Structures are given as structure tokens and as C-alpha cells.
Structure 1
């Protein structure tokens, strides 16, 4: 199966050996960050550094001044890599080593936007804002995200793109110094904590026959047993209905599904309009429409009529792979099984060969490896061995 590894430009810029070291893993492609959220990252093999602190969500190339002139919402350029165009510099080195480069574009995950423009953020049923989570129902946010997708995805030299967080973000964040694990929030409670009550979403609920104030009261009441430790642990749509009631759950899912679906359609269309023919567009996705975060919820049949395929989170046991790959099995398009290969982050490079074979049996036709820049030397050795055996 065609295999791509995720990478940051700073893993390559300033390291003359990086591109050839990556090619030696046995991969054919690199998914290289062009727009990314804030992070602190190790660079364990770089000759000059060991830590990169990306202080805010930024683009890793010079943004088009004309495109963004006069706009309140605009991308910020990075300041932590010593390069005028880190993406282009890294892409050139990777292409020179025989690797195909695709862009990696993170969209609706931006804490700096929420800090500078609070009205753009998701607001939960308690009135708390989530500055890391732009509300994708808001027209100004949607316009920003679709233009960012078109610009960041189609960098020179890229043959395709992978759009991450192309939909709703919510409660789950892994924020710096996160202190939210004291009460275990299951899948359904996370959904309720991710429902947005900004002015646009309140109007959207009204369009689906809901009174936003009454809905907020119902959400808070549904969460009371969760805070008390006696709430339902049911997951998925069943769990949401159990907490909120079937009618309210269905109405919120219709509104949020409509907003996520149309954003995804608009973003893909914007990329295609800006790209050359044959440019591949994939979405990081989950087949459960209520999902939020990096792998946004999608309708499997519908998304594959728009995008060229999906990247699906497959780290975990066989049941986890079956849950995400099963709904896509038998459909046309790229089904890329995404595995963490960083042991220290919960990945299992030692079982990659077996896990990839199981994913292939479920319909996966490509592999994604997260993350070639963050993984240790032994992790990458295990990856190279697994890919060599898979090729045989």
C-alpha cells in the first residue's frame, strides 16, 4: 500500500540528511504541514535543535498579502523556523529525495483566533467560550477557513492535500497544562459539551424548531448526572439520545451536520478551484457524524462524492479499526489508515505490519504514519522493518 508519513517543515529545514533518511524508511510520500496549530515538538535527530515551540496557529509559508488585505480574520505567519518559506524549503528537499509531497492543513483549530476574536469561538451551554475552537457555522469563520484551505493546500510542488479539523472542534483539545480529566466524559457527554450556543448557532437551532434557551437548559440538566458520576456511559448517537432525548439529539445533529457538511464541500471546492487537474484532496475524518476534533464526523457516502478519500484514525485495537473502516468498505476512493508510530504517544510501531494487514483486510488502500519527525530512532527502525516486510 502507498504509505505517507506526517512531517513538520522544521524537521527538514537545517538538516541536510533528513529527506534521504525519510526516503530510506520505505515510504513514497510525505504529508508536510503547511498550516498548523500551536504545539511544542521534539526534533530528536536535528543537528541544531531538540525542541520547537510553535507559539500559535500559523501558516508555514508567506501568506498572500493581496488575498488577506483588509480582512479581520487572516492567517499568521510562523516565526520559529529560520526560513522565509519553511514549507517550500522542506518540500524541495523531500522532492529531491524522490518523495511525493502533499500538504497537511489544519483548519478549525486556532487558539490565537479565539484570543484575538472571541466572537468567533464555540460557546458551550454554560456560556464558556472555547478559544481553540472556531465556530464553523459563523459566516466569517467559514469564509476564512475556505480561503485558508485553498491557499495552504495548493503550495508549489504539492501533489495533493489532507485537510484536518475540517468541521466542528469542541470540548476535547489537549490544551497546555490541561486539567480536565477529573470527571470522565464519555463520547456522548463530550458531544453535549461541544454544542455551540453562539448567536449564529442559536438562530440555527431555531431553524430546526428548537428554542436555544430551552436547549441549553436541557443540555445542562442532561450533564448533571455526569458531573455527579452517575451518568450514562453509552456512546455514539444512542448515548447522545439517552442523555438529551431523541428529538433534541436529532435536531442538534441536523444543524451541526449541515454546517460541517457544507463547510467540507466548500473547502474541497475551493481547493479544487485553486489546484491543477489531478490534485488529490483528502479529509481527516470519522464515520460518526457527531464526532468533533481533528477527525471530524462525516457521512461516508456523501464525503466520498466530494473528496478523493479520507484519512481514518486506526491506532488502537482491531475493534477501533473496524469501527472507522467498516462504514467505508466497498466504496471508491482513498481509504488511508492512520497509525501512530510514536511509542511514547501511544503508538505501536512493533505491530505495524499486523495492524496494516488487518486494515487492508477491511478496505484500507493506503497507510499514514504519525509522525516521522517525532518518533524515536528505535520506532523508525521498527517502521522501516514493517514496511519492508509488507512490500514482500
Structure 2
């Protein structure tokens, strides 16, 4: 199994011994975040301090005026680090050390842009804006994502381009001090994640639906499901034709976003897509569209929760996706409750069909968690 480790630019540049640790891990590539959302990231290997506070989403390459002039949306630069091209510097440092580097690019998760430009953010059926979620149906979002990707990879030698949030985000991912966990039944969260912005409404109209009627039906279903008082509910009572029109609109927008991004990448670039088999999933790993698997080299599933459900998800993906598309398993060594036997877990994922293991996170996992990463890497390479 191929091993991809994830890291932030400051992990590579400011944590002593990073390349040596990556070499010990025998990582086949290290994915460097070149565009990332806001975060407070622990730095257990650093000699400078204990964390980096990324106050807002930022682009870790130079924001060139000639590339972004006259664009409705443009990324911000990070003033919390010392390097003007930290992402590029990190990639180059890894290459010099003989470690292949991948570009890790977060696309539609950007609270700063959503707050400043609410018209391009996801809007639910109650008219509430989700500022953390840029809507793929908006042309400005697709133009932003395409330019961001082109600028991210410019001038760099990369083993892969890994696309996160290449699709819609929804109700539960992710705002500051999130207080929605355990509140919504799955069916409610799904309906609250349906974007009702003007661009999405136009898509419904093109498919023969009245947008105001759909919004009212969504509101009614949300209220009914909440009143039922059952957090296990997974089904709604929308008409199949309405449900189909909503999903087709979403998938068309997601395909348009991905196409805009892929058109800006050099021919032959290996594309790795974070995704999910369930087409209704929103978030960092959004639901795959029918066309997605024909356009990428690998699909990475969210397998942070160990257990049979994750193993079954890998097996289902391997059965459904074309043979040429590798199935990757995204696992973490920095969860509050660590995987009891991460080596056995990786082995089970491999048996189910995973050809890649994506390790989170080479910077966040300090000395106490590094043995878990080593065990996961060893299991992957021995499979």
C-alpha cells in the first residue's frame, strides 16, 4: 500500500528533523497544505512554541496580482508564518531530501471569503448562510478554485495533487466552536445541507421545479423531522422527483467545479480526490458524482473511525469504482481516542481493497503518537 503523510508548511520548515522522520516512516509522499482553512494547529515537534494560530483561511503560495486581478474572490496570505512562499519552500525542501511531495489543496472551505461574500456561500432552506461553505454552483467559486489550483502548483515538482472540499459543504462542517454535534438526525442534517442559493435554485428551475416550492418543502420536512424527536431518522418524505432534481443540480455544480480545477493542471498530473460513496455527503470529503471516478487516479475515503463500517466502506468503494482508480483510506493518529491497534486496522483496510493509506498528521502527531504512525506505515508497506 502506498503511504501518504499530511503536513502543514510550518511542520516541514520549522520542525527540526521533519524530513528524517518522514524518511523513517518510509512515506511514499508527503502532502503539503498549500491552501487551508482556519485552524489552531499544535506543533509538538517545534522548538519555537506549541501551536500555530491560522486565524483565517490562507494560501501558502504567493498571491500574485497578475493572477488574481479583477477576480471576485481572492485568497488571503498568512501573516502568522515567516516565509512568503511557505508551501513552495516546503515542497522544494522535501524534493531536495528525496521525498516526493504532493499538493494538498482545500477548495470550498473558506470562512473568510464566505463572510465577506455571502452571496457565493451555501444558503439553507431557511435563508441562513453557511459562511464556511462556498457553493460550487456559483461561477465565482469555480473561477476562484481553478485559479487557486493553478497558482498552487505553479513551478513545483509534485507527485500528486490532492483535492479536499472539491464539492459542497453543508450544515455540520465547520464553524468556530461548533455546537451542532448530536443535535440533528441524519435526515435533518442532510436537508439542512441542501444549498438554496440563487444559482442552485436556477438549477432546480432548469429541471422543471419551482424553487420557492422546493424551499418550502425542505423547511416543512426539517420541522417535521425535528418535531418527531428521533435522532436516528435517516429518511425524509420529499417526493422522489424533488430529491432527484436537488441531487442532479448539486452533482452538476460539483462536476463543473472539478472540471474547472482539472483544466488548470498540467497533463499527466495524478489527481487524488477526497470523497464519499454516498452522493448526499457534504464536507471535506463530499459525495462522488457519477463522472468523478473517471477523472481521477485515486479516491480517498474518510476512515478515521476504526471498525467494520470503515472496512465495509472500503470494500464497497473497491467494488464500485473502476479498477484503474485506487482506493485510499484516510486514517488519523491524533484522535482523542487513539486506534487500539492501528497496525491491524490498516491491514484490514488493505484486505478490503485499500491501495493507499493517508496518514493524518505528520506534524500534529508528536512523540507520543509517532509510534502509531510508524506502525500504520509498516503495516501498509508489508501488505
Q: Deviations over 1:88-108 (max 9, x none)?
A: 222232223321100000000
Kept in 1, the 8 Å contact 2:184–2:231? The answer is no
Query: Structure 2 length as normaliser, TM-score?
Result: 0.93
1:166-177 alignment runs, 5 A limit: 166-177=166-177
Change in CA separation of 1:386 and 1:163 when aligned onto 2, cut-off 3 Å: closer
Kept in 1, the 8 Å contact 2:346–2:379? The answer is no
Kept in 2, the 8 Å contact 1:43–1:374? The answer is yes
Higher RCO by CA contacts (8 Å cutoff, separation 6 or greater)? 2
Kept in 2, the 8 Å contact 1:225–1:231? The answer is no
CA distance in 2, matches of 1:298, 1:308: 14
Kept in 1, the 8 Å contact 2:109–2:165? The answer is yes
CA distance in 2, matches of 1:39, 1:230: 34
Q: Deviations over 1:6-61 (max 9, x none)?
A: 10011122234222122212322101100001111100111112111111111101
Q: Which residue of 1 aligns with 2:254?
A: 260
Q: Which residue of 2 aligns with 1:25?
A: 25
Deviation at 1:231, TM superposition (A): 4.7
SS at match of 1:122: strand
Q: Which residue of 1 aligns with 2:274?
A: 284
Q: Which residue of 2 aligns with 1:193?
A: 192
Q: Which residue of 1 aligns with 2:325?
A: 333
Q: Which residue of 1 aligns with 2:295?
A: 306
Deviation at 1:234, TM superposition (A): 4.4
1:197-212 alignment runs, 5 A limit: 197-212=196-211
CA distance in 1, matches of 2:284, 2:153: 16
CA distance in 2, matches of 1:196, 1:333: 29
CA distance in 2, matches of 1:52, 1:73: 25
SS at match of 1:296: coil
Q: Which residue of 1 aligns with 2:245?
A: 251
Moved more, 195-204 or 145-154: 145-154
Q: Which residue of 1 aligns with 2:351?
A: 361
Deviation at 1:254, TM superposition (A): 1.2
Kept in 2, the 8 Å contact 1:304–1:332? The answer is no
Kept in 2, the 8 Å contact 1:154–1:160? The answer is no
CA distance in 2, matches of 1:15, 1:129: 38
Q: Deviations over 1:203-252 (max 9, x none)?
A: 111111211111111111111133225357344xxx2xx34232221111
SS at match of 2:181: coil
Deviation at 1:351, TM superposition (A): 2.2
Moved more, 84-93 or 136-145: 84-93
Deviation at 1:64, TM superposition (A): 2.7
Q: Which residue of 1 aligns with 2:362?
A: 372
Kept in 2, the 8 Å contact 1:343–1:379? The answer is no
1:87-102 alignment runs, 5 A limit: 87-102=87-102
SS at match of 1:377: coil
CA distance in 2, matches of 1:85, 1:201: 36
Q: Which residue of 2 aligns with 1:144?
A: 144
CA distance in 1, matches of 2:199, 2:76: 25
**Number of residue pairs the alignment of both structures matches:** 379
CA distance in 2, matches of 1:80, 1:363: 41
Q: Which residue of 2 aligns with 1:226?
A: 225
Which aligned segments of 4 or more residues in structure 1 are displaced greater than 4 angstroms? none
CA distance in 2, matches of 1:218, 1:59: 39
Kept in 1, the 8 Å contact 2:346–2:376? The answer is no
Change in CA separation of 1:114 and 1:33 when aligned onto 2, cut-off 3 Å: same
Change in CA separation of 1:270 and 1:49 when aligned onto 2, cut-off 3 Å: same
CA distance in 2, matches of 1:390, 1:34: 26
Establish whether residue 342 from structure 1 lines up as the match of residue 331 from structure 2. no
Deviation at 1:338, TM superposition (A): 0.9
Kept in 2, the 8 Å contact 1:4–1:27? The answer is yes
Q: Which residue of 2 aligns with 1:67?
A: 67
SS at match of 1:304: helix
